[in-house]
Amino acid sequence: MELNTLQHISIAELCRRLRRRYGRVEFPAPLPVLDELVATILSQNTTDANSGAAFERLSQRFPTWDGVRRARVAAIAAAIRPAGLQQQKAARIKRILQTLHARRGELSLEFLRSLPAAEALAYLRAFPGVGPKTAACVLLFACRQRVLPVDTHVHRLSLRLGLVPPRTSAANAHELLAQLVPARHVLEFHVLLIRHGRQVCHARSPRCPTCPLLDACPDGLRRLPYERSAP
């Protein structure tokens, strides 16, 4: 039997299968754009629960972003300790606030909502320590721009499914997937692949026999001594 590959299955079908497993995806209530940027930085290399706790502690300790901008890095780090890597994240947040204040004389990014996606991405990427994934998350969740963030789960699954060539970097995957994923599927593609990566397609020991995408996954089929028919 000739095996399917994901190139023969539409992104719509991919999302449909994962939606059946994990449910529909809706936008969360949007945060102010600067809040989303800081929250995304806090979310790096930690759980949602930890980053949420860190953001709450930061907001309680410093009621305004200007207070964070003026604070010592050590004080910011103490507030965001639950997020981990607190020294690195605190220094990055402070530098971003200092840079924004120097550029615009205020601590707000609400103007990004009215910019074209490419221009808004470029503005965010110019901040120290803001990469393509962080910038895309801000535009997708705060500004509702259909820009696809490629986090570690999306990157890993895209490689395994053959959506991007082998050894494609996360940075290059942003460009390739932006061309592949239709705008109407950007949100659910991002969220559903993260859910699937956390629950089934683990970095180590993926649970391939339970995967609804197995028939479309070259990597999964290589891992198993048998083929499974399409769901």
Secondary structure in 3-state letters for 55-87 = HHHHHHHCCCHHHHHHCCHHHHHHHCHHHCCHH
Whether residues 174 and 123 fall in one domain: no
The CATH number of residue 77's host domain is 1.10.340.30
Residues forming the active site: 133
pLDDT at residue 223, as a whole number = 85
The reply to whether 125 and 206 lie within a common domain is no
**CA–CA separation, 216 and 230 (whole Å):** 8
Taking only the tens of pLDDT, the chain with its 231 residues reads 233 444 567 899 999 999 999 999 999 999 999 999 999 999 998 999 999 999 999 999 999 999 999 999 999 999 999 999 999 999 999 999 999 999 999 999 999 999 999 999 999 999 988 999 999 999 999 999 999 999 999 999 999 999 999 999 998 999 999 999 999 999 999 999 999 999 999 999 999 999 999 999 999 988 886 444 444
Would you state the pLDDT for residue 228? Answer: 47
**211 in the same domain as 153:** yes
Q: The domain containing residue 179 runs over which residues?
A: 6-25+149-223
Quickly tell me which residue has 């190139």 as its tokens.
7
Both 100 and 171 in one domain: the answer is no
Domains identified in the chain, total number: 2
Same domain for 50 and 13: no
pLDDT of residue 23: 96
Q: For residue 1, what pLDDT is reported?
A: 25
**Contact criterion met (CB below 8 Å) for 18 and 212:** yes
Is the distance from CB of 160 to CB of 220 less than 8 angstroms? yes
Measure the CA–CA gap between 94 and 62, rounded to whole angstroms.
Answer: 12
d(CA 12, CA 199): 21
Give pLDDT, residue 225: 67
Same structural domain, 138 and 67: yes
| Same domain flag for 40 and 137 | yes
Tell me which of 142, 171, 195 is where a domain ends.
Answer: 142
Please report, in angstroms and rounded to a whole number, the separation of the first and last CA atoms in the chain.
16
